[in-house]
Structure 1
């Protein structure tokens, strides 16, 4: 058994992934409410029966999209998140995010943030899944800061839980403003301010 029911064949897994990927793209572009099952069927190149073979309803498909988007975000940043054990690593992560947003023309915002705005107030299961996704993101940042303390780069009085939560908040707020203003200025200001705040706990070398 898998987390999604009976173990799938390789072909079945590929079909399921194709459906989720198509749904994720459409929901990112149009929102969950603006994405219908026929839309997903056409985009994925599958039949309605195939969709309902893997997903009981649209809610189940949406949960799979949340899971995929979380994994995608963490996978894309994995190499940099693993190196958040120095100020050089923090700045490299910051630059990567800013560059990516610029490449996208400041459009779209954060996939998890967009889903949260649409679903959190009326879909408790989706809200919990999204909160868990953000928690995993924040935990990766927190672990880097804890490593900096362990390596003697940050003072023990630094609070990794508080600082990582604030960093994630600055990131999400910056992504939202980048989408609204079509400039990375607020995103850069928020991330820069947080790294400078963390630097207040730097151990002199």
Structure 2
């Protein structure tokens, strides 16, 4: 009897998790393209194919959906950056990282910008929980860049007195500013130029 009850609970939990995943994935796709403000819960219901009762079983309101979307998009971005930066220890490797970012954004002609940056511009002033979640994600991204810059320092490419955290912040700022310029221009050229300037500054600090 107990085993049957546990099995049923597990099955319902798994089913609920899949429903929640459908809602969040559909909301993420819509909000990335349309923006948070232009995406309604009715839009999410239509895109996910779930009922209103199912949605409200998992989320009390739109703010909670947005927070879940930020968590999902953040996981995607950080995983991508971990894969791209995890073993980079040369300027050539950083250039390849830059090329991948620009080329990926070029597939959309720069239209939608960075997922995290886009969400930050829409929710940071309205939802402090979402703002803090985005702040943590940007900090994690900056730490990945700092790790790469530190490896450049350790192998002698950069001098011992290079200000790693400041350089990482500047590089992340160049990426985010580049995304925004590309989104406005519908052209990735400003993004490429922005990141190139930051990388050129790094190269100018070369200890060699």
What TM-score does the superposition give when structure 2 sets the normalisation length?
0.89
Task: Map Cα deviations across residues 99-151 of structure 1 (whole Å, 9 max, x no partner).
Answer: 01111122111111111111112222221111111111111111111122223
Of 104, 108, 112 in structure 1, the residue corresponding to residue 112 of structure 2 is 108
Deviation at 1:64, TM superposition (A): 0.6
Contact 1:173 1:187 in 2 (8 A): yes
Taking only aligned residues, the RMSD between alpha carbons, in angstroms, comes to: 1.6
Q: Partner of 2:123 in structure 1?
A: 119
More helix by share: 2
1:196 pairs with 2:200: yes
> What stretches of structure 2 of length at least 5 have no aligned partner?
1-9
Question: Which SS does the other structure have where 1:18 is aligned?
Answer: helix
Q: Partner of 1:14 in structure 2?
A: 18
Question: Which SS does the other structure have where 1:9 is aligned?
Answer: helix
Contact 1:84 1:141 in 2 (8 A): no
Distance in 2 separating the partners of 1:70 and 1:141: 16
Mapping of residues 121-136 of structure 1, within 5 Å: 121-136=125-140
Question: Which SS does the other structure have where 1:136 is aligned?
Answer: helix
Distance in 1 separating the partners of 2:17 and 2:190: 40
Contact 2:41 2:62 in 1 (8 A): yes
Question: Which SS does the other structure have where 2:30 is aligned?
Answer: helix
Distance in 2 separating the partners of 1:81 and 1:69: 18
Number of residue pairs matched?
198
What TM-score does the superposition give when structure 1 sets the normalisation length?
0.90
Question: Which SS does the other structure have where 2:110 is aligned?
Answer: coil
Question: Which SS does the other structure have where 1:191 is aligned?
Answer: helix
Q: Could you list the runs of 4 or more consecutive aligned residues of structure 1 that deviate by over 4 angstroms after TM superposition?
A: none
Mapping of residues 10-159 of structure 1, within 5 Å: 10-159=14-163
Q: Which entry has the higher C-alpha Rg, 1 or 2?
A: 2
> What stretches of structure 1 of length at least 5 have no aligned partner?
1-6
Distance in 2 separating the partners of 1:69 and 1:187: 21
